[in-house]
Chains A and B, each alone.
Chain A
Amino acid sequence: MKELNELNLPENLGYTEDHEWAQKTGETIKIGVSDYAQDQLGDIVFAELPTVGDTFNKGDEFGTLESVKAVSELYIPMSGEVIAINEELDDSPELVNEDPYNSWMIEIKPSTPEEYDQLLSASAYMDLLKG
């Protein structure tokens, strides 16, 4: 497992206490899990994702990640409607381990875009991990 100083936490993302990240891409938001989350979970073998059109409120469970160790819930960082899911993860869930920041899980159209500003910055997220 990685030491905290080995973690990759890009500055241009917003993070949650539940280890998801959100990235602004124009009007929409892409969502995935952090390097810390994929490292803690270990080899991911299955990603269960919602369907396009589903709507969620901030903090709702939107899917699960299954690793050889455990099944872990995914909580949505912002409210909105799912407009795309990353279908690549269906056949290749290991991409989440290999490249957690390009392996987004869902893309949403946020209903409350201001919620992005409440997310943790990379340094605030690192402080949280340091405990």
Chain B
Amino acid sequence: MKNGVGTSGLILDEPLLWEKGKKGRKGMSIPHSDVPQAPLDEELTGTPVDFPDLSEVDVVRHYTRLSQWNFGVDSGMYPLGSCTMKYNPKINEKQAATPQLAAAHPMLDDQYSQGVLQIMYELQNYLADITGLDAVSLQPAAGAHGELTGMLIFNAYHQSHDSKRTKILIPDTAHGTNPASAALCGYRAIALKSNENGMLDAADVRELMDEETAGIMLTNPNTLGLFEGQVRQIADIVHAKGGLVYGDGANMNAVLGVADMKKCGVDVLHLNLHKTFSTPHGGGGPGAGPVCVTKELEPFLPVPRAWKDGDIYRLEQDRKDSIGRVHGFHGNFGVLVRAYSYILSMGAEGLRKASQLAVLNANYIREQLKDTFHLPYPQPCMHECVFSDQLQKDYKVTTLDMAKRLIDYGFHPPTIYFPLIVHGAIMIEPTETECKEDIDQFIATMKEIAREAKEEPDKLRNAPQISKVRRLDEVQAARCPCLTGPTLPAEQ
């Protein structure tokens, strides 16, 4: 194989900010104040924080160097399954940086925020159209927040029907956040096993669904990258017992303009704008997890929502049956603008095409690598495919070793050890934005790594070798996390 894109280069080292700077350095000079001094209420003051004194150039070089150690979608292919790390077009950034939007004050009256509210109103409508559902709240800050909002809506709905429900069905292929969100809302998660084809069986749902169960949380396509073919029958069973169907929309990138979530029987669905609608993410945010619901559940949506009253856009603050606020002000508005820009620049046909290409790319990888890596569920996949390290086990090489080796070749590793039902899972989601040449390079690299596993396994066990840092001690980091600067006194 030709050398991959990974090569070595000069990497500048950089200490922590606490190890930089000198007393008296300043980032900026502030003019002398002509306001008379006044004593500060002592109750408002505490021990001074030990911040380092730094000049502007200290700070700029610090963060520039850190950014050069980083790997993002602007650097290369990032096939992190379940995360939809597609390239984010720069036009979205340009729109979000428009001063009139970026500097809009959230406390301005509606009459001075018409543009902002129009964007929110139209985005709500686009998301309703895309999912097939009827009403949308843009408030939740990310996927898991959308899930919690959805569970609060479930709860509000059941309360409005004087129905007390304590359980919720969650498939074993669910994202870990699903049972956590349900538990936060007081529901007990009942695990639903997927069948030998990695999918849910309506018969299993029928057995477990009862009138103490609030409903089901399902991800479709599921985390094996498979479309739940029985979703409609499952929804009918859940509805017949008075339950609701939650759709985790994390994998919507596979089905834009293809699957109508309402026709699938979904009552509440969250979207990850930062995944499917192409806004930068990773490293903790910000994201946006709008929640889409059926007409019947619209009264429970969180406030505020954008509303059109004649020719005037308004932010609706009060709604009798609403679960209330789940976020301050307008939600993560900067993310909403990027998603709005993405939807308008792609158009309906473009979004459908994006999903089709995402599915095609994943199937191309699945087909090309199926003889190199074990494929626990061999049927055609949607936007991601899941392999395992079973064929490499004999050489005492693990999924982790292979993932780390990909770094040396200039690729971000895929998601590993998830979903949990696949031992040593390697979950690859190429997205639609990778060209064939780059996908071919990735496939060739994976084949090369499989060869190394057999012939030079130590290369994998010692990977990565040419990155800024070698393999990190994940165990130490998890057991003894150090989250403070080194000059601060250690926690007592």
**Chain A residues at the B interface, C-beta cutoff of 8 Å:** 1, 40, 43, 45-46, 66, 68-72, 93-94
Contact = CB atoms under 8 A, between A and B. Distances in A.
Given A45-B479, A94-B479, A68 B398 contact: no
Nearest to A45: B478
B393 A1 contact: yes
Contacts of A40: 423
B176 A71 contact: yes
Interface in B419-449: 420, 423
6 closest cross-chain pairs (CB), A and B: A45-B478, A43-B475, A69-B417, A68-B474, A45-B479, A70-B417
Nearest to B418: A70
A39 B61 CA distance: 44
B295 interface: no
Contacts, number: 25
Contact of A1 (B398, B420, B475): B398
Contacts of B400: 69
Given A71-B176, A94-B479, 18 more contacts: A1-B393, A1-B396, A1-B398, A43-B475, A45-B475, A45-B478, A45-B479, A68-B474, A68-B475, A68-B478, A69-B400, A69-B416, A69-B417, A70-B417, A70-B420, A72-B420, A93-B479, A94-B475
Nearest to A46: B478
A43 B474 CA distance: 9
Which one of B398, B418, B474, B479 has the highest number of Cβ atoms from chain A below 10 Å of its Cβ?
A: B479
A72 B478 CA distance: 16
Contacts of B479: 45, 93-94
B183 to A, nearest CB: 12
- What size tier do the contact residues of chain B reach? 10 to 19
Which one of B417, B420, B423, B475 has the highest number of Cβ atoms from chain A below 10 Å of its Cβ?
A: B475
Nearest to A71: B176
25 contacts: A1-B393, A1-B396, A1-B398, A40-B423, A43-B474, A43-B475, A45-B475, A45-B478, A45-B479, A46-B478, A66-B478, A68-B474, A68-B475, A68-B478, A69-B400, A69-B416, A69-B417, A70-B417, A70-B418, A70-B420, A71-B176, A72-B420, A93-B479, A94-B475, A94-B479
Interface string B390-420: 0001001010100000000000000011101
Contacts of A68: 474-475, 478
Contacts of A45: 475, 478-479
A69 B396 CA distance: 17
Nearest to A43: B475
Contacts of A1: 393, 396, 398
A93 B418 CA distance: 22
Contacts of A94: 475, 479
Contacts of B176: 71
B4 to A, nearest CB: 26
Contacts of A71: 176
A68 B420 CA distance: 13
Interface in B363-396: 393, 396
Contacts of A72: 420
Nearest to B475: A43
Contacts of B420: 70, 72
A5 B475 CA distance: 27
A81 B98 CA distance: 62
Contacts of B393: 1
Nearest to A73: B191
Nearest to B420: A70
A68 B418 CA distance: 12
Contacts of B423: 40
Interface string B460-487: 0000000000000011001100000000
A7 B107 CA distance: 64
A41 B478 CA distance: 14
Contacts of A46: 478
A102 B388 CA distance: 32
Contacts of B418: 70
Contacts of A43: 474-475
A68 B176 CA distance: 15
A46 B480 CA distance: 11
A61 to B, nearest CB: 9
A71 B420 CA distance: 9
A93 to B, nearest CB: 7
A71 B423 CA distance: 13
A72 B396 CA distance: 23
Nearest to B176: A71
Contacts of B398: 1
A46 B475 CA distance: 10
A66 B474 CA distance: 13
Contacts of B474: 43, 68
A128 B313 CA distance: 64
A70 B422 CA distance: 12
A122 B176 CA distance: 32
Interface string B15-28: 00000000000000
Contacts of B478: 45-46, 66, 68
Which one of A43, A69, A70, A72 has the highest number of Cβ atoms from chain B below 10 Å of its Cβ?
A: A69
Interface string B176-210: 10000000000000000000000000000000000
